């Protein structure tokens, strides 16, 4: 206990310096934890475990081009296919244009089979599904989206169209609960409603989502479909769901490289700052270290005391930074999760916490060991000459 008291007293020798280094470490660890968690959230969009056997078939020229609904029977006839669902981004808003959320027209007969994991179909009764399918103006919404807007089953949701010149009034028939909160920020309504309201959409769809029986059938199916429609008026591009979502992430630029670059810069900066601070603190104690050694303390024991002091200092900064990051993650999920769907899953994972804490301790060890080792190897007489 007396050694801990001595170490703590040494930390409080210069309260300003201790507060500054703890504060800088706290902000650095907070930045790294948040950035790495943001990268993890982005990667989760392109690594959905439920999408291993789902594909998107879209126009080769881009997402704004349509495909004929007549393609659907051919896709269904393929031996690898379990089900096909026509899907079209609607892009409407509720009350305020800034109230952004995903709203899509979908084939009401196959959507539950296609996205059964996301909808938690096991918790939805057959009566609810039939009720939705019978109501031409029916819609299903995620629980997060429903709570945000105060919706409940039976409410009428008026959407204002932006891409298409219709303003559908939709009846909420199902509020679904998904294993991932980010999947609960969406609304789906009948494809027929879009076709009836927008004549030019009759017989067209933005994409077809295909569910195969087995993931290993994907390469063969992709090659066959794209070859079948090659050189046609509507050429196709068939890709896995994860690859499809990756296209949206790439629109933001090389986010991964940017985040990793910032993280590296922060780590290098904090290593330099911590190293310089610890070196200065140890130089100021040259005489004290020499006195300890003159009293009979071994160089190893003095080195251990200095290392523990440095590690305790960085551990405090690291833990405060992680605590701040955990609080921030809660705030991000509650405030931005409904605006940016992937942020609904934003969290500081245990792996990130361990990596940040371990990295902080390594920085503390490197920053403290070099000046501490040099100070304990300095001749006692040189240290004692600094007295007075």
Same domain, 83 and 176: yes
Question: What range defines the domain where residue 209 resides?
Answer: 54-213
Same domain, 146 and 284: no
pLDDT at 355 (0 to 100): 87
Going by the DSSP 8-state scheme, the letter that residue 93 receives in this structure is B
- Residue 141 near residue 186, CB atoms below 8 Å: yes
Total of domains in the chain? 2
Q: Is residue 27 packed enough to be buried (19+ CB in 10 Å), middle (13-18) or exposed (0-12)?
A: middle
Q: Cβ contacts of residue 267 below 8 Å, gap of 6+?
A: 28, 32, 359, 363
How far apart CA 285 and CA 46 sit, in angstroms, is 53
Q: Cβ contacts of residue 273 below 8 Å, gap of 6+?
A: 21, 24
Q: Which two tokens stand for residue 200?
A: 């030019």
Same domain, 68 and 183: yes
pLDDT at 175 (0 to 100): 95
CA of residue 300 relative to chain centroid, distance:
45
Same domain, 309 and 334: yes
Same domain, 156 and 276: no
In three-state form (DSSP H/G/I as H, E/B as E, the rest C), the secondary structure along 198-253 is CHHHCCEECEEEEEECCHHHHHHHHHHHHHHCCCCCCCEEEEEHHHHHHHHHHCCC
| 232 located within any domain | no
pLDDT at 1 (0 to 100): 47
Same domain, 8 and 27: yes
pLDDT at 388 (0 to 100): 47
Q: Which two tokens stand for residue 138?
A: 């029916």
pLDDT at 256 (0 to 100): 66
Backbone angles phi, psi at 185, to 5 degrees: -100, 45
Could you list the pLDDT tens digit for every one of the 388 residues in the chain? 465 665 566 665 667 777 777 788 888 888 888 888 877 776 666 566 656 789 999 999 887 899 999 999 999 999 999 999 999 999 899 988 887 788 999 999 999 999 998 888 888 999 999 999 999 999 999 998 998 899 999 999 999 999 999 999 999 999 999 888 878 889 999 999 999 999 999 999 999 999 999 889 999 999 999 999 998 999 999 998 877 776 665 555 566 677 777 778 887 777 777 777 777 777 766 666 666 667 766 777 767 777 777 777 888 888 998 999 988 888 877 666 655 656 666 788 888 888 888 888 888 888 778 777 777 777 666 656 655 4
| 248 located within any domain | no
Same domain, 73 and 103: yes
Alpha carbons within 13 A on the beta-carbon side of 309: 26
Backbone angles phi, psi at 65, to 5 degrees: -90, 145
Same domain, 121 and 42: no
What is the reported pTM? 0.69
* Secondary element (H or E) of residue 90: none
Of 152, 187, 213, which residue sits at a domain end?
213
Q: Which two tokens stand for residue 291?
A: 């006195």
* Secondary element (H or E) of residue 388: none
User: What is the DSSP pairing of strand 54-59 with strand 81-89?
Assistant: unpaired
Kindly write down the DSSP assignment for every residue of 7-63, as one continuous string. Answer: HHHHHGGGHHHHHHHHHHHHHHHHHHHHHHHHHHHHHHHT--GGGTTEEEEEETT-T
Same domain, 157 and 264: no
Going by the DSSP 8-state scheme, the letter that residue 160 receives in this structure is B
Same domain, 123 and 170: yes
Same domain, 367 and 262: yes
């Amino acid at each position: 206990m007396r050694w801990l008291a001595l170490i703590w007293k040494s930390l409080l020798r210069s309260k300003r310096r201790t507060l500054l280094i703890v504060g800088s470490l706290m902000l650095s660890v907070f930045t790294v934890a948040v950035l790495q968690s943001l990268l993890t959230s982005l990667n989760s969009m392109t690594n959905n475990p439920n999408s291993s056997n789902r594909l998107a078939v879209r126009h080769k020229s881009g997402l704004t081009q349509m495909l004929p609904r007549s393609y659907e029977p051919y896709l269904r006839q393929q031996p690898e296919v379990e089900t096909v669902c026509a899907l079209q981004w609607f892009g409407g808003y509720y009350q305020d244009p800034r109230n952004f959320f995903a709203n899509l027209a979908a084939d009401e007969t196959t959507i539950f089979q296609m996205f059964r994991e996301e909808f938690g179909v096991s918790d939805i009764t057959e009566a609810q599904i039939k009720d939705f399918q019978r109501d031409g103006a029916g819609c299903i919404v995620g629980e997060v989206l429903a709570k945000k807007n105060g919706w409940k089953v039976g409410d009428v949701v008026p959407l204002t169209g932006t891409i298409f010149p219709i303003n559908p009034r939709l009846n909420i028939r199902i509020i679904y609960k998904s294993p991932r909160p980010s999947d609960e920020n969406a609304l789906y309504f009948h494809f027929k409603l879009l076709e009836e309201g927008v004549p030019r959409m009759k017989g067209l769809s933005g994409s077809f989502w295909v569910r195969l029986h087995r993931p290993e059938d994907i390469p063969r199916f992709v090659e066959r479909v794209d070859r079948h429609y090659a050189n046609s008026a509507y050429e196709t591009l068939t890709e896995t769901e994860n690859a499809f979502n990756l296209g949206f992430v790439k629109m933001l630029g090389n986010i991964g490289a940017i985040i990793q670059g910032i993280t590296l810069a922060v780590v290098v900066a904090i290593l330099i700052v911590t190293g310089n601070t610890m070196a200065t603190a140890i130089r100021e104690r040259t005489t004290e270290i020499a006195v300890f050694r003159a009293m009979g303390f071994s160089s190893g024991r003095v080195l251990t005391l200095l290392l523990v002091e440095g590690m305790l200092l960085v551990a405090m900064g690291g833990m405060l930074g992680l605590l701040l990051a955990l609080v921030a993650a809660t705030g991000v999920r509650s405030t931005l999760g409904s605006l940016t769907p992937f942020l609904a899953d934003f969290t500081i994972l245990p792996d990130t916490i361990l990596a940040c804490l371990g990295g902080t301790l390594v920085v503390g060890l490197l920053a403290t060991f070099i000046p501490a080792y040099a100070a304990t190897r300095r001749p006692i007489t040189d240290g004692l000459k600094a007295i007075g």
